[in-house]
Amino acid sequence: MLEQALRQVELPFVAGDGRVPPSWPGPVPTTGPDVAHLGAGAAGDRFRRPASSSAPGRGTLAWSPGLACSTAATDGIDEATTARQMNMDTGSTRVAPSPPLAPSESSLPGWEVSPRWRLALAVAVVAVLTLGVMQVEVPYLAISPGSAVEVGPLVDVAAERRVPTRGQIHLITVRLGQVNVAGALRGWLDPTVEVVARDQIVPPDVNTEELRDFNLAQMDSSKAQAVAVAFEELGYDAVAGTGAEVVQVVPGSPSDGVLVAGDTILGVGGSPVTAHHDVLGALRRRRPGAEVELLVESAGRAGAGGGTGEQRPVTLTLAGSPDDPATAFLGTTLRTRAPRLDLPFQVDIASDRIGGPSAGLAFTLEILDVLTPGELTGGRRVAATGTIELDGSVGPVGGLAQKTAVAVDEGIDLLLVPTAEAEAVRGLADDRLTVEPVDSLSEALRVLVDQGGDPLSPLP
């Protein structure tokens, strides 16, 4: 690249040793050495007196064959012309001034670069080197605004089941990409772009292809959960398993010392539990300080895959959640054991090459909107970001600044975000769009009604 750039630079120069190529005023003595050197070229232009001329005073001069001379200086100058240019005088021979030598490799031993062009050359070199450095990749990733994607065309249901809608529900994407030096500098100067160290997002032993596959797998899981949750909201028993398995117990919580990882909750307050969201739903109907009776299958006998382990009744006193003291808190992380989906009819969601789980809430709302009469959105352009869990809860997502920028640029009327991130998004939106916090699907439906949408109706 540097070589190419330098070939394009034109440099004016002065020939030889800094002097204009000389003219030769004579006289040239004929009594000295046989060869007289004329000028100060690299090889010199030489005249030699022919050997047949022995007179010391007068004679003729001829080109010496085989000696270097500038082609530009001798082209078109024959011996006759040279002879006519000579002024014969007593005791000496004068040579008329020769044509100026043109710059050539043979007659110019070097270049003298003017200061102006030295500066131009330096600037060109610095520019080329800077351009090369700016293209060097660095171990950073840039999270930048993506786009608002309308979800309606992505949801595929049988034509006889689809209900026409006027409003739109959008998911919002962000772009994640490797950056070079130039990209990192632009990102640091742009408030809508976040430049982070690669190892903060991608483990050192995970390559780009593995990261893409992981994100696509998260999207597939998000779509399946969105369909199941939508049908659950419509009254179908779409998600089932063999109980709510304890994954983790929070130290100091009501479950500490009573439940252990691997235990499976089979019932709450006399009601059967087939999935973990059954337990979460039962807790939402209780207050802190209330006692709750659980039917638990002990770990160690049945294992994580189900079976007939020992069952025992357990009574606990619920505490207040560390995040919200008014919410009942059991102190466990649960998952559905051996989960399965039982859907009344097929619903497919196309996501192209979009990855990650943050479109779960948007997918769920769109499924409900196209399957039921009325307008959940009230005919407005609504965007939603947040994961959706099988119990209907909405989880936090990242890329807040980027998603807010997309929502503003795309003219979104209402943006639904997880409650924990609502304050930050409102600050970024700066009154340019309406931002509402939601913790669950039921809260999202309530907010839509408050913003002018229709309440959710049963399936037709």
| pLDDT tens-digit series, residues 317-338 | 999 998 788 889 999 989 889 8
Residues in the chain: 460
Three-class DSSP category at 160: helix
**Where does the pLDDT of residue 449 fall: very low under 50, low under 70, confident under 90, or very high at 90 and above?**
very high
Closest to 221 measured CA to CA, from 126, 368, 355: 355
Contact at 8 Å (CB) between 266 and 307? no
CA distance 397 to 417: 9
Instruction: Name the token pair of 396.
Output: 């936090």
Query: Cβ-count burial of 384 within 10 angstroms (0-12 exposed, 13-18 middle, 19+ buried)?
Result: buried
Contacts of 115 (CB under 8 A, 6+ apart): none
In terms of C-beta density within 10 A (0-12 exposed, 13-18 middle, 19 or more buried), how is residue 18 classed? exposed
Dihedral class, residue 356 (left if φ above 0, else alpha if ψ from -120 to 50, else beta): left
Rounded to two decimals, the pTM is 0.61
* Tokens read off for 221: 């899981």
Give the 3-state secondary structure of residue 365: helix
Supply the pLDDT for residue 35: 39
Q: How confident is the model at residue 284 (pLDDT cuts 50, 70, 90)?
A: confident
* Centroid of chain to Cα 443: 34
* Residue appearing with tokens 């939508």: 230
Asked whether the beta carbons of 284 and 349 are under 8 A apart, the reply is: no
**Tokens for 204?**
């050192």
Nearest residue to 365 via CA among 374, 377, 353, 356: 377
pLDDT at 2: 35
Provide the mean pLDDT of the chain.
Answer: 77
Q: What is the pLDDT of residue 122?
A: 75
